[in-house]
Amino acid sequence: MLPPDLKLILASKSPRRSYLLEQAGIPFTIRTAEVEEIYPPETPVLEVAPYLARLKAEAADHLLESDREVLLTADSVVILDNEIFGKPRDRQDAIATIGRLSGQRHTVVTGCCLRSRHKQIVFSGIAQVYMHDIAPTEIEAYVDRYQPYDKAGAYAIQEWIGLAKIRRIEGTYPTIMGLPVDLVYERLLNF
């Protein structure tokens, strides 16, 4: 497993990221810092998530208490037709977003940053998601029941849409859920 003297600090309030690390048996501590998630408009869509992960790491840098601690930050975006779908603003935005994704193949990019006092690496997990058609009444019922306002693309792969309306994925399930655990683990081993 990981080197015993390495201490991972997850700088995220995401319960999904915590769950994935716990399930992988990767010990961590949570410490968070606030940051406004804004990126330059000219940023290529595949580079937005890693840019935001790096931005979060820079904002949380003061949380490092020793040379053996490593911060982990992450950000996920959903991309369709070169357009980024982040977290929906409200119910109508969530309904419209899922309506756009319905029946389409979209890309999920989860960017990550590992940062210590002396080193930083930024990387991304990328997955393709093939979605079945979703009826407008199903979309409204999903949004009202699950209230996916804190999820990029307005849905979670581990909820009803992921279970009943995803035809196929290319890439890893954890990447779509919000953390490419395989890549995080590999990078931590070599950090």
Catalytic residue positions? 75
Q: What are phi and psi of 35, to 5 degrees?
A: -150, 140
List the beta bridge partners of residue 146.
none
- The pairing of strands 29-30 and 69-80 is unpaired
Long-range contact list for 159-162, CB < 8 A, 24+ apart?
161/98, 161/131, 161/134
- Range 14-28 burial, b when 16+ CB lie within 10 A, else e: bebbeebbeeeebeb
d(C-alpha 84, C-alpha 107), whole Å: 10
Structure-token match 């935001």, residue found: 52
Which residue type occupies 6? L
Q: Give every CB contact of residue 75 below 8 A, 6+ residues apart in sequence.
A: 37, 48, 49, 50, 52, 53, 56, 110, 111
